[in-house]
Amino acid sequence: MKQNLRLKAFSESRLVRNERRCTMKSMKLLCILLALSMSLGWTVSAWASRADCGDLPNDPPKPAVKVDTEDVNVQNDYSEVVAETAGAVYLTVVNGDQPTPNACGLNPSNDAAEWMGWGGPLDGDNVTIGEGAGTRNEIVIGGVYFERGIGTHGTAKFVYDLSGGNYAKFEGYVGMSDEKDPAECGHGGSSTFTFSVDGTEMFASDVLQGTVDGVNVDPVKVAFDIPAGASELVIEIGDGGDGIGCDHSAIGDAKLLTGAETSVKPGGKLSTSWGAIKSSY
């Protein structure tokens, strides 16, 4: 009891000292929150924003178009949107940094030559592989538009150094870019997606195609806990067993989260009104 009282008094004294340092009235509330976080042992982390990743590397030749009902025969049309999440650290490939993320996100630590099996080098964030440099498009998977994400081409490997943050969760979606819907590739390409942390497999997808029986394949949700003290996240994208032709692979909304408030619910879906996206845990 005495120890708890001493800790409480110490925390309150730190809170008072830090609050007194806030002299600007407009900043007082922010300072109080920061002081409170220090007294309770919370950590304050920077988070990534799409606006901080710069412009797209080019004007998309296949623009993403919002429609009421997505048509599998129309490339890059979409009827639903997954917006970026405030407070998350997004995985990036170009404009981020590592091992500590910057305002755009966290870049891979492995050789850039491993990041795609064709169409490189990657030269922008939140875009697809397109037909190579100068032809990148925004990311649409199964009729769902993703504000943030990684577009590449199987086969590919991304290694992310986790030492720069106190990460607790990974969340994202995997699938094939709608820029290769049936008009060009029959089934829109195929890939597998495997996620590992420090050598332990956390998620492995089935072979995912762009379409099956003339119907777009929904993006598959990936969500798993990151063990405390983990050092490395590895994402490997395979060719689906049929070669790399048309394998325009994408990871939508790929992000790292911190804190108990981000706990993953097994089998749960994002809190959306449409609920069509598949979930895997």
> Considering the entire predicted model, what is its pTM?
0.78
- Give the span between the Cα atoms of 148 and 171, in whole angstroms: 12
| Choice among 50-54, 132-136, 275-279 with the minimum mean pLDDT | 275-279
Query: Which tokens in the block code for residue 6?
Result: 């001493």
**Preceding amide of 43 cis, omega within 30:** no
Question: Between 197 and 18, where is the model more confident?
Answer: 197
Torsion sign across C-alpha atoms 192, 89, 99, 95: positive
pLDDT tens figures, 145-164: 999 999 999 999 999 999 99
- Give the span between the Cα atoms of 235 and 258, in whole angstroms: 19
CA angle 51, 256, 66 (to 5 degrees): 50
* Residue 147, CB-side half-sphere exposure with 13 Å CA sphere: 15
Instruction: Tell me if 75 sits within 8 A of 181, measured CB to CB.
Output: yes
In sequence order, which residues have a C-beta less than 8 Å from that of residue 273 and are 6 or more positions away?
A: none
**Preceding amide of 63 cis, omega within 30:** no
Determine whether 193 is exposed, middle or buried from the number of CB atoms within 10 Å of its CB (0-12, 13-18, 19+). Answer: buried
- Give the span between the Cα atoms of 185 and 15, in whole angstroms: 61
Question: Between 278 and 28, where is the model more confident?
Answer: 28
* Residue 202, CB-side half-sphere exposure with 13 Å CA sphere: 22
Torsion sign across C-alpha atoms 67, 220, 195, 82: positive
**Amino acid found at 215:** V
Q: What percent of the chain has pLDDT over 70?
A: 75
| Choice among 16-30, 66-80, 207-221, 236-250 with the minimum mean pLDDT | 16-30
pLDDT number for residue 41? 38
Query: Which tokens in the block code for residue 170?
Result: 């990974």
